Copies of this chain bind each other. A is one copy, B any other.
Amino acid sequence: MELNDREECSGTTNDEDDNNNNSKHNFKVTPWEVEGEIDYNKLITQFGTQPITSEMIERIKHVTGEVHPMIKLRYFFSHRDLDWILNKHEEGESFYLYTGRGPSGMVHLGHVMPWMFTKYLQEKFNSKLLFQLTDDEKFLQTQDRSREDISYYTYENILDIIAVGFNADKTKIIVDTRDIQHLYPIATEIAKRITFSTAKAVFGFSNSTNIGMIGFPPIQSAPCFLPSIIENKPTPVLIPAAIDQDPYWRVTRDVAERMGYYKPAQIHSKFLPGLGMVGKMSSSKPDTALFTIDDPEIIDKKVSSAFTGGQATVTLQRQLGGNALGCPVFWYLRYLFDTEKQSDERLIKCKSGNLLCGECKGDLSKESQIFLVEFKKRRENARDVIAKFMFDGAPYEK
């Protein structure tokens, strides 16, 4: 079942006309800020990306023999040139994956989800992966983060990345300040082709933006072209990442061909909702995020306190049914733990008043704890293999 996840949020209904109800879509998405209730269809128009259509899903099925639930359920809902990447694959040309993380805090399930999908892509397409940690960006972004804090989070985040289970022979983690000598030459080539006008329009820079942030985007663009340098030939790249990072790839795509590279293709995810009333899961609202290092009792407590789409009382819930599509607990379960069949049944039972919030919360708490017990073990083991994953500018093992 295809669900448009935010249409029923906050008690609004499908009957309302989008165009006459702007306040309903009062949202903001930039690489540094995600605010409000996001209308993902509007975002596709606004950013100029392509929706993942039923035809695209058929095409994926034709190429890979299956469709990953995160695509089927439209957690990955938008793309650029995904069809082109599939063509390249069918023509026998292998492509790199590239994704990243800004290490400004600990990792939560909202971060892990697209990484799990990236791991799936790596296995399915036998792809090499570059994973960038933008410690420089997180240092430049605000005046109050110390380099020591960012170094700490960088190390801790690397444990999470490795814990996802990427192929050690085909994955290299780049830390910007550590690996700047490999990024800088490409970044300057990109930077000289982007004017302040363009950067201002795409990223929303203003007179009060610091020049480090203005100069930063090419550092995030650089790994799009590193594969071509490593492989010594133009090499396709697919970027699985949340839609808020799209501005980076837009400017990168604009300069790619002039530099003799392919435009990077992308597949965009939605944000995993936080456990609060509105907004994505965020490290800056720790009570509404399930961190990978959270102890079971913390997970249980956070899930118990979660906002849901349920009615005020059990009686009302039985009588009126719940608003599953506006319920973060529902979406957590749907994206992460339920099968599609389970999730569709959960939706019907909730809407008809045959399911109480406590049951869903119980399922989410239990499943999260099971998931995180295993994840934490891999996370601990990761400490011993970090060196193997770190980028050193040298080609991958062939």
Contact = CB atoms under 8 A, between A and B. Distances in A.
Interface of A: 136, 139-140, 143, 147, 177-178, 180-181, 184-185, 187-197, 199-200, 205-218
Main secondary structure of the interface of A (DSSP, over half): helix
Nearest to A205: B196
- Which of A140, A187, A208, A214 has most chain B Cβ within 10 Å? A214
Contacts of A188: 136, 139-140, 177, 212
Can you list the 6 inter-chain pairs with the closest CB atoms, starting with the nearest?
A: A215-B215, A191-B212, A197-B207, A180-B184, A192-B212, A140-B192
A210 B191 contact: yes
17 contacts: A136-B188, A139-B192, A177-B181, A181-B181, A188-B212, A191-B211, A191-B212, A193-B210, A194-B211, A195-B210, A196-B211, A197-B208, A199-B211, A211-B214, A211-B215, A211-B217, A214-B214
A241 B197 CA distance: 32
Contacts of A189: 139, 147
Contacts of A177: 181, 184-185, 188
A192 B213 CA distance: 7
Nearest to A206: B196
Given A136-B184, A177-B184, A211-B218, 6 more contacts: A177-B181, A192-B210, A196-B210, A211-B215, A212-B218, A215-B215
A323 to B, nearest CB: 43
